[in-house]
Structure 1
Amino acid sequence: MADPAVLKQLRETLQGLETKGFRRRPVLPMGIHAIDTRLANGGFRLDALHEIAAGTADLADDCAATLFMAGIAARAWGPVLWVVRRHDLFAPGVSQSGLSAGRLIYAEAADDAEMLAIMEEGLRHRGLGAVIGEAKRADMTATRRLQLAAEGGRTIALLMMRHIRETSDPLRLPSAAITRWRVTSAPSTPLPGTVPGVGRARWMLDLVRQKGGEPFSQLVEACDETGRCALPAALVDRSVAPGRANLRAA
């Protein structure tokens, strides 16, 4: 059970938020035609729970999944509550994905149960743009509570499911999440010409489940300073074969 003192302090913090003037939308598009046209709602539903997991237990994939969440939250409409279980969130990296420190409210949870309770409290407040949490286990009951707390509002819920073991699947349990994603690091964008070095990071996004739609995979360039991903140039420039989806970014 969550510590009542922790929830009381969180409520007092949330009550002091100024939320006037923020633009509230029902859906947050990715801004990439090849993805938005395959998402059942044309983007991320803001009144819903979305699960994200690293493709493997490797630190590079863990970072990619974290920055993917940060980019989504960066394009939401207001303050962001991020509930952590350990002190490994690198603020400068999150900021490079568009989520500035001035918008973040951090909460530290002792265990998964407390983390889920804090997330639920933040979602019910209705004064936040996004609520993010990190868990090793979240069963159908827990995710259903988060989904119900998000419904009717405009606060997107992002739950990162962490690897328990190298061979474990963080998305193995049933969930009430509207979408469930795996994010895996891919070879970075090559720099032009013969210039040595590493270009913009790339990720393979695998949507393994979505309510009302089909799973799919898409290679993207990592979030920029505005929180937006992009299609690699080779995909943008490729002509569309008959029967293929349009790969150009919107």
Structure 2
Amino acid sequence: MKQPAIKNDIFEKLQKQIFSLQGFTPPSEGKQVNFGLGAAEQGFPNHVFPTGAVHELISDGQQHAAATTGFMAALLGKLMQDGGLSLWISQKRTLYPPALKFFGIDPDHVIFIDVKNEKDLLWMTEEALKCQALCAVIAEIKDLDLTASRRLQLAVEHSRVTGLLHRINPRMLGNTACASRWKISPVASVLEDDMPGMGFFRWDVQLLKVRNGQTGQWQIQWTAGLFEHVSIAVQVATGKDLLKTG
């Protein structure tokens, strides 16, 4: 009678070890960050957005890039909520640093590094991810192959720094060693009670790939320093709607 229980215990231990090697730290280990992503976090192993791992975010065009930058800033604000320093590395930086305050980030705690070419950017990202003194490293990098992504993942496995790679108009999307792949699209904000001005930031969030997890798609809004899921009314077409008569 005890044999199945022993086997289950061994299986759970092996699974935790595999998750740890892949960058998914169990909730009982290390510092935990409450991102508040709700249903979007359920797709990850242990139902927790993994820190100490590398994540890639894909953008097609400047409009999507702006939305992705906002979403990354919101994640960065959660990672830096207890203080610390982060690095933001790019070739053509378009971010306005004072705007980070909207996401609870002191711009003075973010070190911005502008480099001339992608080779230097990749090298600097790897070296930064090895630095245990940092909370996170954000790198705006266009292309990333499997070998380079493995080097980045190995770096964070020792330092436990979280890496966010923003890939704008990548030439191709191949396999990488990143813990997850996201695509963020802008969604029109909604004004509350017909008030003038602009509503809260809202994104269409797609989790395209996640190791040992489930993909999904959600609409998420940034409200008063918190992620908030937006309910969407879905209209389903009937068979008659799909048929055309001659």
TM-score (norm 1): 0.74
Question: Is 25-34 or 209-218 further displaced after alignment?
Answer: 25-34
Instruction: Give me the whole-angstrom Cα distance separating, in 1, the residues matched to 2:168 and 2:32.
Output: 26
Which residue of the partner structure matches residue 47 of structure 1?
52
Which residue of the partner structure matches residue 199 of structure 1?
199
State the SS of the aligned residue for 1:230: strand
Residue 32 of structure 1 and its aligned partner are, at CA, apart by: 3.1
- Which whole-Å deviations, capped at 9, do the CAs of 1:162-181 have from their partners, x for residues lacking one? 115xxx66xx1211100100
- Where does 1:26-105 land on structure 2 (aligned, <5 Å)? 26-54=31-59, 56-57=60-61, 59-77=62-80, 78-105=84-111
Pick one of 135, 139, 158 that aligns with 1:152: 158
- Where does 1:112-123 land on structure 2 (aligned, <5 Å)? 112-123=118-129
Residue 133 of structure 1 and its aligned partner are, at CA, apart by: 0.3
Instruction: Give me the whole-angstrom Cα distance separating, in 1, the residues matched to 2:133 and 2:184.
Output: 29
- Which whole-Å deviations, capped at 9, do the CAs of 1:108-148 have from their partners, x for residues lacking one? 12212111111111111211000110111111111111100
State the SS of the aligned residue for 2:58: strand
State the SS of the aligned residue for 2:229: coil
Instruction: Give me the whole-angstrom Cα distance separating, in 2, the residues matched to 1:35 and 1:95.
Output: 24
Instruction: Give me the whole-angstrom Cα distance separating, in 2, the residues matched to 1:147 and 1:161.
Output: 16
**Residue 162 of structure 2 aligns to which amino acid in structure 1?**
I
Q: Percent sequence identity over matched residues?
A: 26
Question: How many residues in Structure 1 have an aligned counterpart in Structure 2?
Answer: 202
- Where does 1:228-239 land on structure 2 (aligned, <5 Å)? 228-232=226-230, 234=231
- Going from structure 1 to structure 2, the CA distance change for 1:223 and 1:174 (only over 3 Å counts) comes to farther
Bigger radius of gyration among the two: 2
Unmatched 5+ residue regions in structure 2? Answer: 1-28, 234-246
Residue 49 of structure 1 and its aligned partner are, at CA, apart by: 0.5
Task: Give yes or no for the alignment of 1:138 onto 2:144.
Answer: yes
Question: Is 116-125 or 30-39 further displaced after alignment?
Answer: 30-39
Which residue of the partner structure matches residue 246 of structure 1?
none
- Going from structure 1 to structure 2, the CA distance change for 1:29 and 1:208 (only over 3 Å counts) comes to farther
- Going from structure 1 to structure 2, the CA distance change for 1:223 and 1:150 (only over 3 Å counts) comes to farther
Task: Give yes or no for the alignment of 1:180 onto 2:181.
Answer: yes
- Going from structure 1 to structure 2, the CA distance change for 1:134 and 1:82 (only over 3 Å counts) comes to same
State the SS of the aligned residue for 1:87: coil
Which residue of the partner structure matches residue 221 of structure 1?
221
Residue 76 of structure 1 and its aligned partner are, at CA, apart by: 1.3
Question: Is 182-191 or 40-49 further displaced after alignment?
Answer: 40-49
RMSD: 2.2
Instruction: Give me the whole-angstrom Cα distance separating, in 1, the residues matched to 2:93 and 2:36.
Output: 32
Unmatched 5+ residue regions in structure 1? Answer: 1-23, 239-250
Which residue of the partner structure matches residue 23 of structure 2?
none
TM-score (norm 2): 0.75
Residue 35 of structure 1 and its aligned partner are, at CA, apart by: 1.8
The list of structure 1 runs, each at least 4 consecutive aligned residues, that deviate by more than 6 angstroms after superposition, is none
**Residue 189 of structure 2 aligns to which amino acid in structure 1?**
S
Contact 1:27 1:45 (C-alpha < 8 Å) held by counterparts: no
Instruction: Give me the whole-angstrom Cα distance separating, in 1, the residues matched to 2:204 and 2:198.
Output: 17
- Which whole-Å deviations, capped at 9, do the CAs of 1:94-118 have from their partners, x for residues lacking one? 2212222121011112212111111
